[in-house]
Structure 1
Amino acid sequence: MWQSLYLLAVLSTSRLVSTRPALGSRHATSASFDYLIGPSVVEVPSRIRNVFPAENFNRNVTTTWWMTEVLNGEKTSAYEETVEVLTNASIIVLDQDMYKLLGTDNYKETKDVENIFKFPPGPTWAKRVVHDGTVYSPECNCIYFAELNPPKEGFSSQALEYIWSISLDEDKPVTEKIYPSPPITMANGAYYHNGSVYWAQEGNYTVPGGIVRMDPTSLETEVVLNNFFGHRFNSPNDVVITRDAVAYFTDGYYGFDNFNDTVKPELANGVWRWDMKTDNLRMISGAGGGPFTNPNGVALNLHENRLYVTNRGNSSDNPAGGRTIYEFELHDEGLPVTGGNVFAYVDSGFPDGIKVDQDGRVYGGITGGVIVYDSTGKLLGMIKVAEGDVAVNMQWVDDWLYIVGRSYIYRVQLNTKGVQTF
């Protein structure tokens, strides 16, 4: 078995429900505030979002809604309750349609977000550890994902020989490091197609970025795309593939700006379309004049006529930078009808990984959890992760949504499935 051949260490998980204190089922009222509080779900009426419970306040772009600071004056009881209620919730409901997704009638019913694995600390030279590229393979009944280590100032990120795997064969998923051969140089986003896993390889000084195909059984890898007429890609970040073998992938300046590990870019950032049957390659958005500063996650809807792309600025803490999800309408040949419309603008950090379910909902990984929109862009609510963690990416397996953060892996059972069938 490949697990025994490539195993470094098997790190068993424990099926732990979120350790947040139980909220209890009550109807809480503070001044004009009226939260609906259940054991794990909190419903927040719109009037609470409209007028914040403090006279003078603000928050940093990288923090969550419930970390909004009072700038001067006393913290009111309504403010204190807002912080407590939102901090301790597992699910935040902002619209009644969120309950259909949860498969519950109201806030009184419990919906657990399970914390199933804690990652070990990253290297000493890393500013933080990021886990990305969540992709399910039916051959191993497992989820693969990558690890990235943005470096501290004065350091360069180092390519890792391993990726991670979550085996779903047992009641308690087992998480371990595995070793593709040859290694994927700065693996990031990934997608399963026709028996293979395709990785967006960011690359580094010595290895150009591109798309790498991996056999999910043998873990053998092969570079299938690595240039545009001799130009290196900048840092391919994520990839999605249609049923007819058309790949869309994002390319940004992450290696040069954030990882300090690649050559100076010679291409504009953008979204690429690669027909894997004809090998036709073209940029479909960006090209120096499009909406993207640094395109990131990419996803298709069930009918493959909507393409969703996340965007961030030059850094994740830049208030003027992109914190946006764009929607592209695609015509029958898979090319954009328009240049992309703003689908959503997030309030915390920037949207990283993105997924779509069979009912058209769009999920984005941000600081604090996974935000959920309906197909029109209406914000429904948030599936929270542990306090201080960031939801980086997700993967559907049947009706379970697995969430990979910087520090933990989570899962939650929902009343829908992803757009891929295996």
Structure 2
Amino acid sequence: MATVTRLALWAIAAVVPASCYPATSPLNIDIEAREASLGLLIGPSVVEVPASIRNVFPAKDFNRPVTQTYWQTEVRSGDPSGIANHTLRQLGNATFLAFDRGFYDVLGIKDYRQPKKVETIFTFPAGPSYANRMVHDGTVYSPECNCIFAAELYPPKPGFSMQFLPWVWRTNLNGTAPVTEKVYPDPPLTIANGAYYHDGAVYWQQEGNYTTPGGIVRMDPLTLKTAVVLNNYLGHRFNSPNDVVMTKRGVAYFTDGYYGFDNFNDTIKPEMANGVWRWDSKTGNVRMVAGAGTGIFTNPNGVALNREETTLYITARGFASADADGNRNIYQFDLTANQGRIAQPLLFAYSDAGFTDGIKTDKEGRVYGGVTGSVDIFDPQGTLLGKINVAPGDTAVNMAWVKNWLYIYGRDKIYRVQLNTVGSQML
């Protein structure tokens, strides 16, 4: 190897994974030295990615589709150094990606050199043959049962429709280890999706189908008995209610999109614009507070409140996850004025992988969003602090806080991680 030129070593690195070489080989030493010169800091579970790599990608030519993760970036230049591909492998193998040192405050560790664990607690069984994929949403914790409920949906393959599912999943936290099983609300929910806990009950969004209008359903977390509490606006069906959040005094904000009609092929043609609605559970008043006419809510999705209930966060998808022109943003609305109506939105963050689906907040005002490959964590100003990676090929759909544990529900698995904070709803 002493006679092999550095250029030749670089050429080998472009086609042979670094893992094939001994840790002390000249090739690995060279790659690691150059990687270190870029500032990449690699710990047992955290990789800290400096601005030098984020701002200038370490390859001459590269590309990344909107549905893929950061570490799936395609290196197109044929750069003989192999640094770009080796760096991407490090990112993909990490449990956490840190982009800002504030991320360590969330994780409760000093820096990248300390280990930190994400535990996989359940793997969902495979979906039916008609399914394009699985989705687990509507994650909600109830203290009455010390358990988390989650909806299951099967976005169908072309030519099929979403089918009625009589169950939701329940993760029981009362034993030495979590136990996840199907349970059956009575009467059953019709395409359950988002959910929120308020005043001893779980409030589900059900998207509805051809024969059952969508709306909000209240469920007793112990008996699983359900009752429809909202299913129309002056005789209009809602299109496909998706997610909901409630204030402490019982005012709900929920999103309504075209998912049932456009994606699930299981509802009648919508008669109203997509939008965000406000329902006062005490007075019964319901009204739209943001609509597709604003140009941002082609398909609104996740919704969350900060601890003080002064800021409302809403995610938006667009027509399709793979559409590069799709609206994959998180918007921020001020609730301090306008008597419950939401003011002109601020663009809070843009999702770099798919679109932000479920969204949660913590007591410090940070925002957590489920995306392809990870949960993204932003500070209150919208700075991306870091990513909690899920298993390869999985998508983080939604989350639930239980004290200082964040339970992450993916399409395929359930994960949990202990953090140095608690959810805003836990206070």
Could you tell me whether the CA contact under 8 Å between 1:305 and 1:332 is conserved in 2? no
1:132 aligned to which of 109, 128, 137? 137
> Residue 82 of structure 1 corresponds to which residue in structure 2?
87
**How far apart are residue 413 of structure 1 and its match?**
0.3
Superposed CA deviations along residues 244-270 of structure 1, whole A, max 9, x for unmatched, are 100000000000010000000111011
> Residue 299 of structure 2 corresponds to which residue in structure 1?
294
> Residue 15 of structure 1 corresponds to which residue in structure 2?
none
> Residue 168 of structure 1 corresponds to which residue in structure 2?
173
> Residue 281 of structure 1 corresponds to which residue in structure 2?
286
One-letter amino acid of the structure 1 residue matched with residue 161 of structure 2: S
Match runs of 1:237-386 below 5 Å = 237-331=242-336, 335-336=340-341, 338-386=343-391
| 1:51 pairs with 2:56 | yes
- Computing the radius of gyration from Cα coordinates, the structure with the larger value is 2
Unaligned runs of 5+ in 2: 1-22, 24-28
One-letter amino acid of the structure 2 residue matched with residue 92 of structure 1: L
TM-score (norm 1): 0.92
Match runs of 1:124-203 below 5 Å = 124-203=129-208
Distance change >3 Å, CA 269–CA 337, structure 1 → 2: closer
> Residue 238 of structure 2 corresponds to which residue in structure 1?
233
| 1:30 pairs with 2:34 | yes
In 2, distance between residues paired with 1:337 and 1:125? Answer: 39
In 2, distance between residues paired with 1:34 and 1:124? Answer: 46
1:414 aligned to which of 393, 398, 419? 419
Structural RMSD (CA): 1.6
2:103 aligned to which of 98, 104, 120? 98
**How far apart are residue 57 of structure 1 and its match?**
1.1
2:229 aligned to which of 219, 224, 229? 224
In 2, distance between residues paired with 1:390 and 1:28? Answer: 30
Counterpart secondary structure, 1:420: helix
Aligned residues: 398
In 2, distance between residues paired with 1:111 and 1:406? Answer: 23
Counterpart secondary structure, 1:135: strand
Could you tell me whether the CA contact under 8 Å between 1:368 and 1:384 is conserved in 2? yes
In 1, distance between residues paired with 2:419 and 2:339? Answer: 30
Could you tell me whether the CA contact under 8 Å between 2:304 and 2:314 is conserved in 1? yes
The answer to which of 396-405 and 65-74 deviates more is 65-74
Counterpart secondary structure, 1:283: strand
Q: Which runs of 4+ in 1 moved over 6 A?
A: none
**How far apart are residue 75 of structure 1 and its match?**
5.7
Counterpart secondary structure, 1:257: helix
Could you tell me whether the CA contact under 8 Å between 2:400 and 2:407 is conserved in 1? yes
> Residue 123 of structure 1 corresponds to which residue in structure 2?
128
**How far apart are residue 80 of structure 1 and its match?**
1.9
1:112 aligned to which of 110, 117, 124? 117
**How far apart are residue 34 of structure 1 and its match?**
2.2
**How far apart are residue 35 of structure 1 and its match?**
1.0
In 2, distance between residues paired with 1:206 and 1:337? Answer: 32
The sequence identity of aligned pairs, in percent, is 61
In 1, distance between residues paired with 2:280 and 2:172? Answer: 32
Counterpart secondary structure, 1:101: helix
One-letter amino acid of the structure 2 residue matched with residue 124 of structure 1: S
**How far apart are residue 288 of structure 1 and its match?**
2.6
> Residue 11 of structure 2 corresponds to which residue in structure 1?
none
TM-score (norm 2): 0.91
**How far apart are residue 30 of structure 1 and its match?**
2.2
**How far apart are residue 55 of structure 1 and its match?**
1.3
In 2, distance between residues paired with 1:253 and 1:373? Answer: 28
The answer to which of 160-169 and 290-299 deviates more is 290-299
One-letter amino acid of the structure 1 residue matched with residue 366 of structure 2: R
